Structure 1
Amino acid sequence: MTIKVLVVDDSALMRSLLSEVINSAPDLEVVGVAPDPIAAREMIKTLNPDVLTLDIEMPRMDGLDFLARLMRLRPMPVVMISSLTKRGSEATLQALELGAVDFLPKPKLDLPAGIEAYRVEICDKIRAACSARLQSRGAAAASMGASSLQRELSAPVPGSSGGLPERVLQERLVLIGASTGGTEAIKEVLCSLPAQMPGILLVQHMPEMFTASFAKRLDGLCRVRVKEAEHGERVMPGTAYLAPGHSHLSVRRAAGGYVCELAQSEPVNRHRPAVDVLFHSAASQVGAHGVGVILTGMGKDGAQGLLAMHKAGAWTIGQDQDSCVVYGMPREAASIGALDEVVSLKDVGQRVLARLRGGERRGKV
């Protein structure tokens, strides 16, 4: 089956480059290019593409406005092509909230040697988007105002009364890894957790500029504090540490607690940061005091690391197929026996809390 792609970008050079890159794959075909959303709207009707690549800043209609209308009237898989700027990263996160499946930064035209890696990445993302489970988030994201969001966050977390013992807050760690669809999945999990939590370490596949914006966005939404991890900083209760896009994140046991470590070593499973790096470090340094969670994403990153955590006595949780945007990483983890339980995304936070309270015991903690 050939996947039909419509490229929407106001730059003629970018439309040409993206078309050339996408058409180089035997199973992908650019069936049309549009300079703006108005033209794209008509092409969607006549060409019926399987996947849309969409720029954000365009004439006649902003890419976000078009995406919101598209997901409301004719939902389809969309991969955003974003500029590597602070404004571009914030707009991309809004696009993911509105229902875009994934995103890529625009290719650097002055670095032709990097085009091959870009080609592999964009083709993989288009294939994953084509088979992705579309999330009906657009209407909810657009309609939720600041006051209603604040009321939601100030409400008690179901089943969270009584808090967690100080020993649990200091000794335990929660490790979470995700890829495609992970920005919204991580947000849902973190927003379901109380402020009183053990330290949380997160890996989400995304470039450096985007992780800074993502951490800031989560920090404004969640009860726990969220920040980008820094090398050598102590892991504190009530704080979630997101791996920066330029480095692998691992954890090291230190006197009286844990420390974040960053490394700009080679990519693992084609990713830096890689979930496997974090999970393998947790297996050796945290052992049965860890709770590992693997969320939506394409590929297999994190599966082997989660298996190592499982063997070390940690409790491991995988997102189920029905709630994943792309059922890749959790499926791989399940297939190799790395999971203690498989649950819907809406239940992940409560299952983590149940384990921290000692509701299920496998390893000695």
Structure 2
Amino acid sequence: MKKIRIVVVDDSALVRSLLAGIINRQPDMECVGAAHDPLIAREMIRELNPDVITLDIEMPRMDGIDFLGRLMRLRPMPVVMISTLTERGAEVTMKALELGAVDFVSKPRMGVADGLNELSTQIVEKIRIAANAHIRRLGPQVAAANPDKAPEARVPVTLLGRVSTEKLVFIGASTGGTEAIKEVLTPLPADFPAIVITQHMPPGFTTSFAARLNSLCRIAVREAVNGERILPGHAYLAPGGKQFRVDRSGANYVAVVEDGEPVNRHKPSVEVLFRSGAKVAGRNAFGIMLTGMGNDGAKAMREMKDAGSYNFVQDEASCVVFGMPKEAIAHGAADEVLPLKDIAGALIAKLNASADRFRV
């Protein structure tokens, strides 16, 4: 069996040793090198040609973000970030995902040895996913982009007019989803119907993710708050570590955020959100399944379709990981399977068509 070959990059000798030990205990993995800074890592990558690297953020001589940007422009490869869970760490991790990192693991600040060993299952799972992910070269315009400037929309910004406030868009994503969600949301006009989103993400990171999206989008993006009314022109993101669903209160949609059990091993779970869409929105719902590993949300997306929703699924070629979309297609949940860049335009066109019928 061909083993996944990994280079570990971290300035801590303890962390390098712990990660190497976790990796080498797996029958399908091998740590072929460990570097304490990116310049040494660069030479190791040239010499050893690994399948995946794990990368720390704060390191001497060159930080992990600068190194990642250069790596993804010149020699794109699967990268799993090892980031400390702090406010700055969360913001920088969002930047790493934008630059092309496949996923991240939250490195504990205290009790590193015990903490990393407790995370060993998560670490090796994310390395396996990364080894099979679709990696694309980072264009220089992305690396040099002003993070505070919204990108140009790829579809015409067409105001939707008086679309019924009953319309509601449900989005689910996992690995690779932070950039995919951004790609869908940034072209949307400010008067767009309400959007509810579940992205698999742990506590501490969704606040930064929502703030990042809010700075780029015409619609307002925020973490969902339990009991709040869901309004047009807004997107609501499931808080990390909580379950998020939609309910009705009279004529209004409201957010339900609760500390429920994991579903399909996830919390938040796409299954929970999409099942509520089938129950409370029916034919007024639109579903979107984006890149991600596993099958979370596939059955519930079919329930949405059976209840009358219209569903878009991201195609294999544009996915980082074609897991959740593949399962949604297999369950017969997709009305259209599209490249990521085409989903926003198709959604706007479908809503405009429904608005015309609504006016008639």
TM-score bracket, normalised by the shorter chain, equals over 0.9
1:224 pairs with 2:225: no
Q: Which amino acid aligns with 1:316?
A: N
Alignment-derived partner of residue 282 in structure 1: 277
- Where 1:357 maps in the other structure, the secondary structure is helix
Alignment-derived partner of residue 325 in structure 2: 330
1:209 pairs with 2:210: no
Q: Which amino acid aligns with 1:18?
A: L
1:17 pairs with 2:18: yes
Alignment-derived partner of residue 27 in structure 1: 28
**Contact 1:90/1:213, CA 8 A, preserved across alignment:** yes
Alignment-derived partner of residue 240 in structure 1: 235
Give the TM-score normalised by the residue count of structure 2.
0.93
- The CA distance in 2 between the partners of 1:14 and 1:34, in whole Å, is 11
After TM superposition, the structure 1 stretch with the greater mean CA deviation from structure 2, 116-125 or 37-46, is: 116-125
- The CA distance in 2 between the partners of 1:140 and 1:74, in whole Å, is 16
**Contact 1:77/1:134, CA 8 A, preserved across alignment:** yes
Question: Where does the alignment leave 5 or more consecutive residues of structure 2 unmatched?
Answer: none
Q: Runs of 4 or more off by more than 4 Å in structure 1?
A: 111-117
**1:7-50 Cα distance to aligned partner (Å, 9 max, x none):** 10111111122122222221111111111111111111221110
**Cα 1:337–1:116 shift into 2, 3 Å:** farther
1:49 pairs with 2:38: no
Alignment-derived partner of residue 118 in structure 1: 119
**Contact 1:164/1:197, CA 8 A, preserved across alignment:** no
After TM superposition, the structure 1 stretch with the greater mean CA deviation from structure 2, 225-234 or 37-46, is: 37-46
Alignment-derived partner of residue 296 in structure 1: 291
Alignment-derived partner of residue 353 in structure 2: 358
- The CA distance in 2 between the partners of 1:128 and 1:122, in whole Å, is 10
In the TM superposition, what is the alpha-carbon distance from 1:355 to its structure 2 partner?
Answer: 2.2
- The CA distance in 2 between the partners of 1:329 and 1:238, in whole Å, is 27
In the TM superposition, what is the alpha-carbon distance from 1:115 to its structure 2 partner?
Answer: 5.6
Percent identity between the two aligned chains? 53
**1:216-253 Cα distance to aligned partner (Å, 9 max, x none):** 00000001000000000000100000011020110001
Alignment-derived partner of residue 183 in structure 2: 188
- The CA distance in 1 between the partners of 2:48 and 2:136, in whole Å, is 23
**Contact 1:79/1:102, CA 8 A, preserved across alignment:** yes
**Cα 1:26–1:231 shift into 2, 3 Å:** same
Give the TM-score normalised by the residue count of structure 1.
0.92
After TM superposition, the structure 1 stretch with the greater mean CA deviation from structure 2, 12-21 or 111-120, is: 111-120
Q: Which amino acid aligns with 1:212?
A: T
* Cα root mean square deviation, aligned: 2.1
1:260 to 235, 252, 255: 255
In the TM superposition, what is the alpha-carbon distance from 1:71 to its structure 2 partner?
Answer: 1.2
1:165 to 146, 150, 162: 162
Alignment-derived partner of residue 60 in structure 2: 59
**Contact 2:75/2:137, CA 8 A, preserved across alignment:** no
**Contact 2:263/2:269, CA 8 A, preserved across alignment:** yes
* Pairs aligned (count): 355
In the TM superposition, what is the alpha-carbon distance from 1:137 to its structure 2 partner?
Answer: 3.3
1:176 pairs with 2:171: yes
Q: Which amino acid aligns with 1:8?
A: V
In the TM superposition, what is the alpha-carbon distance from 1:322 to its structure 2 partner?
Answer: 0.5
- The CA distance in 1 between the partners of 2:339 and 2:125, in whole Å, is 25
- Where 2:353 maps in the other structure, the secondary structure is coil
**1:319-350 Cα distance to aligned partner (Å, 9 max, x none):** 00010011111001111111111000001111
- The CA distance in 2 between the partners of 1:197 and 1:171, in whole Å, is 12
- The CA distance in 2 between the partners of 1:146 and 1:8, in whole Å, is 26
